[in-house]
Amino acid sequence: MARPRTPAGRARLAVDRLAEEYPGGAAALCELSFDSPYQLLVATVLSAQTTDVAVNGATPALFARYPTPSDLAAAVPEDVEELVHGTGFFRAKTRSIMGLAAALEDRFGGEVPPRMSDLVTLPGVGRKTANVVLSVGFGVPGFPVDTHVSRLTQLLGLTEESDPVRIEAEVTALLPRREWGATSLRLILHGRRICVARRPRCGQCGLADFCPSVQAPVAPAARRPARPSGSGLLQASETRPPVRVSDA
């Protein structure tokens, strides 16, 4: 098969290959646990700068105690802080989720609105979180751009933009609307597992035959000697937690 020469051609091939690699729709591909758009919205805000595993460890107790936006809006902040402590930045996150719960109660009858124009008026909610809620929670077209989506769309030559809003506009113009949400989630999974920042595993990548950024394997003689064990620099970069879908 000829190697695609245009962003549109690469986008079409990437959509097909990623769908084979990561099957399922946006809701199935999302690694956050949730039972409703309200839970998904709160979980997505909590996922800033932490892992989905950490969020999934905190939310069952949080939603058991505060099952509705009304309950969360009326909570004692210190009690919420204790429940979300394990997700990091717990004071700021408590302010955000209590603020958005109050806004849902005051302005939307306690329901999460299924529109971008309404979602971005909620405290702590930007286009990225709103697009997660739309595509994963409501099954309507939305293309969240997080750090993985930003990096991979540039590496794959789908855009030269670095601003998330411009990336969203350029890349969605290349994709069928029905593929927006799932393609974003698949790019995030690919960025976590294969196209890892600083050390992409091109040899294991199903997009390598048309990716303009593919890296050739490093010959053994050219490899740099390994750092002595215990090097803080290497450990710091190797253990850096992945950035999650969120707006923080």
Residues that bind ligand SF4 (CB under 6 A): 152, 155-156, 194-195, 200-202, 205, 207-208, 211, 213-215
The distance of closest approach from Cβ of residue 191 to ligand SF4 in the complex, given in angstroms and rounded to an integer, is 8
Integer Cα distance of 18 and 28 in angstroms:
14
- Is-catalytic flag, 128? yes
Q: Which residue carries 């933009």 as its tokens?
A: 161
Least distance between ligand SF4 and beta carbon 194 (Å) = 5
Task: CB nearer to ligand SF4: give 2 or 76.
Answer: 2
Shortest spacing between CB 239 and ligand SF4, in angstroms:
20
Of the listed 93, 128, 163, 247, which one is catalytic?
A: 128
Give CA–CA dist 154/204, Å, rounded: 19
DSSP assignment of 104-149 equals HHHHHTTS--S-HHHHTTSTT--HHHHHHIIIIIS-S------HHH
Based on CB atoms, which residue is closest to ligand SF4, 13 or 58? 13
The residues, ordered by sequence, that sit 6+ positions from 189 with a Cβ below 8 Å of its Cβ are: 22, 29
Of 52, 93, 146, 247, which is the active-site residue?
A: 146
Rounded least distance, CB 215 to ligand SF4, Å: 6
| CB crowding 163-190: b at 16 or more within 10 Å, else e | ebeebbebbbebbeeebbbbbbbbbbbb
Residue with Cβ nearer ligand SF4 (45 or 155) = 155
Using DSSP's 3-state secondary structure scheme, residue 112 falls into: coil
Q: Which is nearer to ligand SF4, 36 or 215 (CB)?
A: 215
Which residue numbers are catalytic?
128, 146
